[in-house]
């Protein structure tokens, strides 16, 4: 019987795990499109113990200065993080043909596939992803016809714990701005429809020319990221450049997303981040993308605006913003901006200039 060589299932779904060389389709010309500044004191992403009596103040400061921080003592059981990681590992270890049974449809949100931001770049990324919005059941059944139950249970439990942590973080982030949960009633009264994004970055034969996940901001209020023990996540800080967010066992990474940027009227800028790959280790990450209920209008909080600080953004719903992001990618935030910044320069987060590939 004639069997086709397995690596190329279709143009976009190369089996990266079996590649001995970097194919041209994945060879990026330049990975460093944004400047890095040398500094004698290395700048490090803050690590915050959520049981610290000053946690609110520390969170506020981290949101203002970095837009990213790590949290410890967050209340999510370590064994659940381990189970989630194991579930992701099991999923990505399936044969490509099996994974493609749960492929994300061209206009769909959930399922297996390449990074959806690939459409904005001339080169492909060294990663594969699996997105879950709502129930994982339909896709899990296609992946494991007789044994999908365990996977679905872990996902549900993980989402439940992440939702609790997201609420806690919202309380701290808004509290540090002097805003109460009363001022944002939807945050406690209506449930949001978060997304879970599992990312797999196989070991790469030529990591200096490959990109795991290109620089982007998340469209969320906040994102909670669990990374395995392999580094790769980098955050961009104005005046510093790209900084690695090192894996700390048991800690979770928190990103400020575009909707919190809008809600805070730019006081908490969303963080530009990317994932790099390495030669020897397989990296795995799980992102919980948390936003408001999809049809709630999000605009700069009135407590944060006055005549001197006018609202900088028009109101948008999360679902509208996701559409804008899908169309304009890193220009989405400036596309909903009302007034030009006072300094006459682009929005701090207007990363239109990011050129890659
Ligand atoms: C809710 C969502 C946010 C997201 C688009 C999505 O519908 C589901 C996946 C999310 C993700 C994860 C990787 C980075 C990102 C930019 C992407 O392409 O898909 C985000 C999207 C986002 O935050 O806009
Ligand atoms: O893998 C990572 O560290 C980053 C993942 C990420 O940015 C995302 O899923 O939005
Ligand atoms: Fe992200």
Q: What is the pLDDT of residues 4-27, one digit of tens each?
A: 333 444 556 789 988 999 999 999
Give the Å distance between the CA of 217 and the centre of ligand 2.
10
pLDDT over 60 at 274, yes or no: yes
What ipTM was estimated for this complex? 0.99
Measure 112 CA to ligand 2 centroid, in angstroms: 15
pLDDT in tens, 127-170: 999 999 999 999 999 999 999 999 999 999 999 999 999 999 99
Nearest residue (by CA) to ligand 2, atom 3, is: 233
Model confidence, pTM:
0.93
Average pLDDT, the chain: 91
The pLDDT, as a whole number, for residue 12 is: 67
Question: Could you give the percent of the chain with pLDDT greater than 70?
Answer: 89
Ligand 2 closest atom vs CA 197 = 9
Residue 290 covered by a domain: yes
pLDDT value of position 34: 64
Res. 343: pLDDT tops 70: no
In a domain, 83, yes or no: yes
Pocket residue to mutate for ligand 1, from 218, 232, 317, 323, most atoms within 8 A of Cβ: 218
Closest ligand to 260 CA?
1
Position in ligand 1 atom list of the atom nearest CA 115: 18
pLDDT confidence of 291, banded at 50, 70, 90?
very high
Q: Domain with 289 in it: what CATH number? A: 2.60.120.330
Residue 261, domain member (yes or no): yes
The answer as to whether 30 is a domain residue is: no
Taking residues 220-230, report their average pLDDT: 98
The 3-class secondary structure across the chain, one letter per residue, is: CCCCCCCECCCCCECHHHCCCCCHHHCCCCCCCCCCCCCCCCCCCCEEECCCCCHHHHHHHHHHHCCEEEEECCCCCHHHHHHHHHHHHHHHCCCHHHHHHHECCCCCCCEEECCHHHHHCCCCCCCEEEEEECCCHHHHHHHCCCCCHHHHHHHHHHHHHHHHHHHHHHHHHHHCCCCCHHHHCHHHHCCCCCEEEEEEECCCCCHHHCCCEEEECCCCCEEEEEECCCCCEEEEECCCEEEECCCCCCCEEEEECHHHHHHCCCCCCCCCEEECCCCCCCEEEEEEEECCCCCCCECCCHHHCCCCCCCCECCECHHHHHHHHHHHHHHHHHHCECCCCCCCCCCCCCCCCCCCC
Residue 278: domain span: 48-336
Q: How many domains is the chain partitioned into structurally?
A: 1
Q: What is the pLDDT of residue 190?
A: 83
The pLDDT of residue 5? 35
Query: pLDDT of 33-91, one tens digit each?
Result: 666 665 556 789 999 999 999 999 999 999 999 999 999 999 999 999 999 999 999 99
């Amino acid at each position: 019987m004639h069997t086709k060589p397995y690596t190329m299932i279709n143009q976009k779904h190369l089996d990266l795990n079996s590649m001995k060389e970097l194919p041209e389709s994945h060879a990026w010309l330049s990975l460093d499109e944004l400047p890095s500044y040398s500094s004698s004191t290395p700048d490090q992403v803050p690590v915050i113990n959520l049981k610290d009596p000053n946690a609110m103040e520390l969170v506020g400061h981290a949101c203002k200065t970095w837009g990213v921080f790590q949290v410890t003592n967050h209340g999510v059981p370590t064994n659940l993080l381990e189970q989630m990681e194991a579930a992701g590992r099991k999923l990505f270890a399936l044969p490509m043909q099996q994974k493609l049974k749960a492929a994300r449809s061209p206009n769909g949100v959930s399922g297996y596939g390449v990074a959806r931001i690939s459409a904005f770049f001339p080169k492909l990324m060294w990663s594969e992803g699996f997105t879950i919005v709502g129930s994982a059941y339909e896709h899990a059944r296609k992946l494991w016809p007789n044994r999908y139950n365990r996977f679905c249970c872990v996902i549900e439990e993980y989402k439940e714990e992440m939702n609790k942590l997201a609420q806690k973080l919202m309380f701290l982030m808004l509290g540090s701005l002097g805003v109460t949960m009363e001022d944002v009633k939807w945050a406690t009264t209506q449930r949001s429809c978060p997304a879970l994004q599992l990312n797999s970055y196989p070991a790469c034969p030529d990591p200096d020319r490959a990109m795991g996940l290109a620089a982007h901001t998340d469209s969320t209020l906040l994102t909670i990221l669990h990374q395995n023990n392999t580094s790769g996540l980098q955050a961009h800080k104005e005046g510093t450049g790209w900084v690695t967010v090192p894996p700390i066992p048991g800690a979770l990474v928190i990103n400020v997303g575009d909707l919190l940027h809008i809600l805070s009227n730019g006081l908490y800028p969303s963080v530009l981040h990317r994932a790099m790959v390495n030669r020897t280790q397989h990296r795995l990450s799980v992102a919980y993308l948390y936003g408001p209920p999809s049809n709630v209008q999000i605009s700069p909080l009135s407590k944060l605006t006055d005549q001197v600080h006018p609202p900088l953004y028009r109101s948008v719903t999360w679902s509208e913003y996701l559409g804008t992001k899908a169309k304009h990618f890193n220009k989405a935030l400036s596309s909903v901006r009302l007034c030009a910044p006072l300094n006459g320069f682009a929005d701090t987060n207007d990363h239109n200039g990011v050129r890659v590939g």
